[in-house]
């Protein structure tokens, strides 16, 4: 075991400029040294046997283990409601718009949400009314003329006695009735024009927007410019169907379809964080109807009570997961500076204890989380690491 550690340290010393003289009795500075035991840096290849005082100065021992290594990643998300109702303004223009509700308010069907003064052009309304009335009059006049022609033909039929003459007249009446039926079909456009006129007149008298459904206010269209017909004034939701959406990022987020994640709603103003489980329903690794605009969607498996969804939302998942990794506790790792100028970097190392002897070993760190470094070189499973007071 001793020869393996000496070889490991020797190879690492050759590859690191800062410890090129690790085979010489030369001190090396450390940003996290062992205090009075800094002389242990003198010769990394030659182990230092601890005396009684040095043993008492060992703050803690750590074991190098193999096991599960996880690194969590958090994405910022936002709640999206799927059962939305858009309450729009029906008048052509509006003035003095006032919102009577705020985001989060619960409303009932028929509640007044917005009031305003309708703005419309009286000359245009008069001209539109005349156009519709002219269409109606022209239709009715032509219809009456065709109906009168049929009536006259039926009257003449009653006077005829000859079989041949009656057959000719009956055929003429049949053709006239077919023509009248065809013309009557155009009445639908006239009726529609009248309905549109009535709707316009009605809308011009409307001075409010009312709720068409029970629900909660999730958005208001409060803007500085004027409102026109069709503008969505208030967005309502029953809050029965919703999910967390994560906007697309340039790099792959790592969220996969079907995987379970943690959803954290951060507490604000003294509130506690609320954590719940979620499941990815749409992600970049699968194309489907739910994956649109590159967004990742996460549905809630079991929502706790009292969640304040207006607070910041994070979705946390395993960005790295290794079942069998060499793990070194974060507290057991120290660093020293290597290089110079703009190329200074922190080099990680540990003290390995073998019975009564201590060795300094540089480690090759692959990744880390809050608790562990994942290491691929410099230590082995079962090694005992020490840290001094």
Q: What's the pLDDT tens digit per position in 147-206?
A: 999 999 999 988 888 889 899 989 999 999 999 999 999 999 999 999 988 877 776 677
Same domain, 166 and 180: yes
Choosing from 187, 218, 236, the residue where a domain stops is 236
The pTM score is 0.50
Same domain, 90 and 231: yes
- 316 band by pLDDT with thresholds 50, 70 and 90: confident
The answer to whether residue 15 sits within a structural domain is: yes
CATH code (residue 248): 2.40.30
Report if residue 103 sits inside a domain.
yes
The token pair that represents 121 in the structure block: 């052009």
Report the alpha-carbon distance of residue 234 to residue 53 in Å, rounded. Answer: 75
pLDDT band at 25 (very low <50, low <70, confident <90, very high): very low
Of 322, 341, 367, the last residue of a domain is 322
* Integer CA distances (angstroms), 360 to 28, 34, 146, 336, 357, in order: 12, 11, 111, 12, 10
Same domain, 248 and 287: yes
User: Tokens 């000859």 belong to which residue?
Assistant: 162
Residue 327 lies in a domain: no
Residue 243 and residue 215 share a domain:
no
317 plus 346 within the same structural domain: no
Same structural domain, 365 and 291: no
Band of residue 52 on the pLDDT scale cut at 50, 70, 90: low
Shared domain for 133 and 190, answered yes or no, is: yes
Of 179-188, 214-223, 349-358, least confident by mean pLDDT is 349-358
| Structural domain includes residue 228 | yes
Q: Of 271, 292, 322, which one is at a domain's C-terminal end?
A: 322
Residues 97 and 41 in one domain: no
Residue 263 lies in a domain: yes
Q: 128 and 180, same structural domain?
A: yes
Query: What pLDDT score was predicted for residue 252?
Result: 54
DSSP 152-195: HHHHHHHH---HHHHHHHHHHHHHHHHHHHHHHTTHHHHHHHHH
Residue 227 and residue 96 share a domain: yes
Q: Flag whether 253 is in a domain.
A: yes
Q: Do residues 72 and 255 make contact, with C-beta atoms less than 8 angstroms apart?
A: no
Structural domains of the chain, count: 4
CATH of residue 221: 2.40.50.100
Q: Per-residue pLDDT tens for 85-96?
A: 999 998 888 888
Question: Which residues fall within 8 angstroms of residue 283, CB to CB, at 6 or more apart?
Answer: 253, 255, 256, 257, 291, 296, 297
Identify the pLDDT of residue 294: 72
**Range with the largest mean pLDDT of 71-75, 282-286, 292-296:** 71-75
Tell me the C-alpha to C-alpha distance, in Å, between residue 174 and each of 160, 181, 235: 16, 11, 57
Ranked by mean pLDDT, which of 176-180, 266-270, 287-291 comes out on top? 176-180
Same domain, 198 and 129: yes
314 & 243 share domain: yes
Domain, as residue range, for 369: 2-67+333-388
Assess if residue 137 is contained within a domain: yes
Q: Which DSSP letter does residue 369 get?
A: -
In the predicted structure, residue 5 carries a pLDDT above the cut 70: no
Please report whether residue 328 resides in a domain: no
Q: Which two tokens stand for residue 377?
A: 């070189």
């Amino acid at each position: 075991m001793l020869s393996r550690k000496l070889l490991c340290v020797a190879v690492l010393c050759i590859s690191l400029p800062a410890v090129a003289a690790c085979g010489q009795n030369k001190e090396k500075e450390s940003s996290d040294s062992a205090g009075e035991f800094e002389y242990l840096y003198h010769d990394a290849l030659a182990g230092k046997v601890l005396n009684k005082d040095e043993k008492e100065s060992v703050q803690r021992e750590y074991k190098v283990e193999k096991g599960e290594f996880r690194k969590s990643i958090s994405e910022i998300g936002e709640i999206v409601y799927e059962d939305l109702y858009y309450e729009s303004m029906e008048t052509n223009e509006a003035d003095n718009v006032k919102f009577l509700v705020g985001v989060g308010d619960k409303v009932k069907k028929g509640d007044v949400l917005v009031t305003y003064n309708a703005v419309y052009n009286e000359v245009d309304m008069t001209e539109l009314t005349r156009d519709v009335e002219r269409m109606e009059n022209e239709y009715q006049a032509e219809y009456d003329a065709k109906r009168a022609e049929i009536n006259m033909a039926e009257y003449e039929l009653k006077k005829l006695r000859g079989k041949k003459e009656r057959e000719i007249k009956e055929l003429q009446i049949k053709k006239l009735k077919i023509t009248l039926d065809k013309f009557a079909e155009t009445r639908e456009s006239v009726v529609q024009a009248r309905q549109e006129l009535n709707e316009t007149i009605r809308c011009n008298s409307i001075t409010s927007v009312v709720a068409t459904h029970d629900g909660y206010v999730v958005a208001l269209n409060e803007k500085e410019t004027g409102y026109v017909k069709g503008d969505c004034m208030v967005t309502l939701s029953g809050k029965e169907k919703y999910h967390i959406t994560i906007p697309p990022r340039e790099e792959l987020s790592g969220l996969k379809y079907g995987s379970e994640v943690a959803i954290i709603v951060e507490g604000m103003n003294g509130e506690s964080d609320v954590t719940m489980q979620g499941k990815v329903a749409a992600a970049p690794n699968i194309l489907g109807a739910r994956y649109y605009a590159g967004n990742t969607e996460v549905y809630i498996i079991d929502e706790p009570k009292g969640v304040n969804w207006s607070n910041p939302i994070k979705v946390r998942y395993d960005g790295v997961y290794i079942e069998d990794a060499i793990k070194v506790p974060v507290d057991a790792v120290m660093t020293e500076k290597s290089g110079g100028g703009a190329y200074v970097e922190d080099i990680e190392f540990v003290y390995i204890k073998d019975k009564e002897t201590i060795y300094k070993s540089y480690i090759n760190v692959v990744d880390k989380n809050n608790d562990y470094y994942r290491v691929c070189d410099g230590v082995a499973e079962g090694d005992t690491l020490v840290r001094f007071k």
